[in-house]
A and B are shown apart, each in its own frame.
Chain A
Amino acid sequence: MRRALIGAGGAVAGAVAVLAGHVLAGHVLAPGAGPNLPSAVGGAGPSSGPNETDRPLIDGTATGPRVETDYGPVQVRVTVSAGAIVEIEALILPTVHERSRWIDANLVPRLRQKVLTAQSADVDVMSGATFTSGGYLRSLQAALDQLA
C-alpha cells in the first residue's frame, strides 16, 4: 500500500516533469491549442489569442489551395476566431503510400499543434515528413493570406 503510494507519487512527478519540459521548450500546451481539447470549429476560441503577425486576422474560415507534392495533394482549411488561429483541418492528405498514411496519423496532428502554438504558418517542416508538411504549410499560408 505504502509502496503503491510511492509509485503513484513517482508517476505524477514523471508526468509533471515531461509536461514542464514541453512547456519550457515551447512545444504545445498553449491554452486552447492543446491536443487534449477537442476542437470545435467555429466555437469559442481562446479569449485573447496571441497573434504574432503585425496584421490582425479577420475572424472566419478560409480554405487554402490544393498543393501538389511528390506523394500526393495536400489541402487545409483554417478557422480564425477572435483574431487567433483556432483550428486547422486537413481536407486532403497523401494516402497512397503507407508511409504517408503513417505521417498523416502521427505527424500531421503534431504539425497542427505547432501551428496553433506559433499562431503562424512560419514553422519548420517536420523531418521525416518534408513533403507533406511543406504542402500543408503552403496551403495554410495561402488560407491565412485570405483572412489577412
Chain B
Amino acid sequence: MSGTARPNRIVAAARRPPRRRPRGVDGLVALAGVCLGAVVAQWWVTKPSLGGGAATVALAAGQLAGLLGAYLAMLGLLLAARVPVLESTLGLDRLLRLHAKLGPWTLCTMVIHALTVTLAYAALAETGALAQFWSIVTTYEWVPLAAVGLSLMLVAGVASWWRIRRRLRYESWWALHLSMYGGIALAVPHQIANGAIFVGYPVVQWLWLGLYALVLGALVAFRFGLPIVRTVRYRPRVADVVTEAPGVVSVIIEGAFHRLPLAGGQFAHWRFLARGLWWQAHPYSISGVLDGGRLRVTVRAVGDHSRALNRLRPGTRVLMEGPYGAFTASARQPGRPVALIAAGVGITPIRALLEDLPPDAAPAVLYRAHDHDDLIFQDELGPAVSGRGGTLHCLVGDRGEQPITASRLASLVPDIAGRTVYVCGPPGFAAVVLGAAKDLGIPRHRIHVEAFRLHPADASPVRREEVSACDGR
C-alpha cells in the first residue's frame, strides 16, 4: 500500500438508487412479441402464392427474411439505446452482450434476403443471377440505396467480429460501428416503397415508420439527451486524483450530484475534457460517494487512457454518461445474505455496493489479488464488512495459488449455497467462479456478474501466501 494520505471519507453509495422494473421489461418483451407476430402475419397474408413454383416460394422466403432482418435491426438498436427500464433491470453489459449476439443473425438474415430475392426474380424473369442483380441494383426505386446500406452494415459487422475487432483500436471500431446507423437508415425507404407487405397498405407503412421513429427517439433521448441533461445539471469536474496502489488511481469528481440516480456497484462512461483524453469515453466503476457528494472513480492503469488519468488536473470538466449497471444491492433477494467475490480492481463496484447493504446484512466478501500491494481499500473494507456483521477474506496470489473451487468457496463461506452471489473481475475469473457456483448448486439467477476486460500487460510478480483476514491490517 502506498503511503498516500486519504482525507476522504465514504459516506454513502446510493443516491436515489434507480429502481429495478421487471414488469416494465415484461411489457417491452410483450410489445416486441406483438410486433413480430404482426409482421409475420402480414407477410403471410401478402406473400406471393406458394403454389407458383420454387421461384415464388423463394421470393416469399426472401421477403420474410428481409422483414425479420429489419425487425432484428430495430431490436438490436433498442438493446444498445440505454433504455432506462431495460438498463436498470438487466444491466448494460447484459444488454450489450445480447446486442452482440443478435448482430450476426441480423446481418445473415439481411444477406439471405438480398440473395434469395435476386435469385427468385432471376428465375421469374428467366435471366441470369448476375444480370438480375445488376438490374435490381440499378433500376429499382430505393434498392440502390439499400444495397449501399447493406454494404455499410456488412463492413461494420465484420469489424465487430472478434478476430478483427481485437486488432482494431477501440476508436476505429467505434467509428466503423457508427456506420450501422447509416446502413439501417438507407435500407428503410426500399422496405416502405417496395415491400410486398407495405404496398397498398398505408396503415402498415405508417406503423412500420412509427416503429423506426420509436427506436430513433429512444436512441436520441437516452444515448444523447439524457447524458447531456445530466452533465449540464451536475456539472462534474475533477476534484483530485489519488493513488490507491501501484497502478491504481482514484479520480475524485465533484458536482451537484445530490439528485444523481446512483446505486453502489454502478459505473458510468466518463469523458475527461483534457488534452489527449477528451475524444474518448471510458466505463469506470464508481467506488463510493465521498463527503460533499463527490464521486470516487477507481481505475487500474492498464491502457493509455487510464495511465493518463494520473495527469488530470483539478477543475478539469467531465462529461458523464450513466450511471449504468444492475450490479447493485437491489439485485439481491429480500432476507437472503450475500457473498461478494472480487478479483483485483474488481473490488471497486463491490466497495460501493457494500455501503448499500443494511447493518445486519452479514456479507461474506472474498477478495483475490496478486500481491499484498495490490489490495486496495483495505482500511475501508474491514470496517464496512465488520460493521455489517460480515466476514472478509483476502486471497493473495494468482489463480494457481488461489484457485476458486466449489470446495474452497464452501470452506471459506460455509453457507454460500444459500446466498446471493456477486462476482466482479476479469472474464476468466468470472467464468471460474460461475463454474464453482454451479457445482455448489447455486441457481444462475442468484449470481450477478460484472466482468471487465483487463489489459494482458498487467501480470505482476506474485508471492505465495495463504488466506489472510484483512481486518485491522
User: How far, in whole Å, are A27 and B135 apart by their CA atoms in the complex?
Assistant: 33
| Interchain nearest-CB distance for B146 vs A (Å) | 14
Contact present for B124 and A104 (CB under 8 Å): yes
| Interchain nearest-CB distance for A28 vs B (Å) | 6
| Interchain nearest-CB distance for A74 vs B (Å) | 16
User: How far, in whole Å, are A9 and B36 apart by their CA atoms in the complex?
Assistant: 11
Contact present for A98 and B139 (CB under 8 Å): yes
B residues near A27, Cβ cutoff 8 Å:
45
Contact segment of A14-22, A52-60, A61-69: A14-22
Known A14-B34, A15-B40, A17-B38: A101·B121 in contact at CB below 8 Å: yes
Known A101-B124, A110-B200: A3·B47 in contact at CB below 8 Å: no
Pick the contact of B32: A10, A102, A105, A112 (CB < 8 A).
Answer: A10
User: How far, in whole Å, are A13 and B140 apart by their CA atoms in the complex?
Assistant: 35
Contact present for B125 and A18 (CB under 8 Å): no
Residue on B nearest A35 in the bound complex, by CB: B49
Contact present for A98 and B41 (CB under 8 Å): no
Which residue of B30, B36, B59 has the most chain A CB atoms within 10 A of its CB atom? Answer: B30
Judge whether B35 is part of the interface by a CB distance below 8 angstroms.
yes
Contact flags A17-42 to B (C-beta < 8 A → 1, else 0): 11100100001110000011011000
Contact flags B23-59 to A (C-beta < 8 A → 1, else 0): 0011001111111111111101111111110001001
Judge whether A8 is part of the interface by a CB distance below 8 angstroms.
yes
Contact present for A128 and B199 (CB under 8 Å): yes
Known A38-B50, A102-B194: A14·B38 in contact at CB below 8 Å: yes
Known A29-B45, A101-B121: A9·B33 in contact at CB below 8 Å: yes
User: How far, in whole Å, are A8 and B35 apart by their CA atoms in the complex?
Assistant: 11
Mostly helix, strand, loop or mixed at chain B's interface?
helix
User: How far, in whole Å, are A89 and B59 apart by their CA atoms in the complex?
Assistant: 18
Judge whether B309 is part of the interface by a CB distance below 8 angstroms.
no
Which residue of A12, A14, A101, A128 has the most chain B CB atoms within 10 A of its CB atom? Answer: A14
Judge whether A48 is part of the interface by a CB distance below 8 angstroms.
no
Contact present for B30 and A6 (CB under 8 Å): yes
Contact present for A6 and B33 (CB under 8 Å): yes
Contact present for A98 and B140 (CB under 8 Å): yes
Residue on B nearest A112 in the bound complex, by CB: B49
Judge whether A73 is part of the interface by a CB distance below 8 angstroms.
no
Contact present for B33 and A105 (CB under 8 Å): no
Judge whether A109 is part of the interface by a CB distance below 8 angstroms.
yes
Mostly helix, strand, loop or mixed at chain A's interface?
helix
Contact present for B49 and A17 (CB under 8 Å): no
A residues near B35, Cβ cutoff 8 Å:
14
Contact flags A100-118 to B (C-beta < 8 A → 1, else 0): 0110111101101000000
Known A6-B33, A10-B32, A98-B140: A106·B199 in contact at CB below 8 Å: yes
Contact present for B125 and A95 (CB under 8 Å): yes
User: How far, in whole Å, are A125 and B52 apart by their CA atoms in the complex?
Assistant: 22
User: How far, in whole Å, are A136 and B402 apart by their CA atoms in the complex?
Assistant: 80
Interface residues on B, range: 35 or more
User: How far, in whole Å, are A56 and B51 apart by their CA atoms in the complex?
Assistant: 27
User: How far, in whole Å, are A102 and B124 apart by their CA atoms in the complex?
Assistant: 10
B residues near A39, Cβ cutoff 8 Å:
49, 51
Contact flags B213-236 to A (C-beta < 8 A → 1, else 0): 000000000000000000000000
A residues near B139, Cβ cutoff 8 Å:
98-99
B residues near A126, Cβ cutoff 8 Å:
200
Contact present for A105 and B41 (CB under 8 Å): no
Contact present for A3 and B120 (CB under 8 Å): no
Pick the contact of B45: A28, A95, A105, A107 (CB < 8 A).
Answer: A28
Judge whether B114 is part of the interface by a CB distance below 8 angstroms.
no
User: How far, in whole Å, are A138 and B40 apart by their CA atoms in the complex?
Assistant: 33
Judge whether B188 is part of the interface by a CB distance below 8 angstroms.
no
User: How far, in whole Å, are A8 and B32 apart by their CA atoms in the complex?
Assistant: 9
Judge whether B440 is part of the interface by a CB distance below 8 angstroms.
no
Judge whether B12 is part of the interface by a CB distance below 8 angstroms.
no
Contact present for B25 and A105 (CB under 8 Å): no
Contact present for B29 and A17 (CB under 8 Å): no
User: How far, in whole Å, are A76 and B63 apart by their CA atoms in the complex?
Assistant: 25
User: How far, in whole Å, are A80 and B124 apart by their CA atoms in the complex?
Assistant: 27
Pick the contact of A10: B33, B40, B45 (CB < 8 A).
Answer: B33
Known A6-B26, A10-B29, A13-B37: A105·B56 in contact at CB below 8 Å: yes
Contact present for B47 and A35 (CB under 8 Å): yes
| Interchain nearest-CB distance for B129 vs A (Å) | 14
Known interface pairs A3-B29, A35-B48; 12 further A-B residue pairs with C-beta atoms within 8 A, sorted by A's residue number:
A6-B29, A10-B34, A13-B34, A17-B37, A35-B50, A38-B50, A98-B139, A99-B139, A102-B121, A102-B140, A105-B124, A109-B49
Which 7 residue pairs across A and B have the least CB separation, nearest first? Answer: A10-B33, A14-B37, A11-B37, A14-B34, A15-B37, A14-B38, A18-B41
User: What would 13 A/B residue contacts be, using CB atoms closer than 8 Å?
Assistant: A7-B32, A11-B33, A11-B36, A11-B37, A14-B35, A14-B37, A17-B37, A36-B44, A39-B51, A98-B139, A105-B124, A109-B56, A110-B200
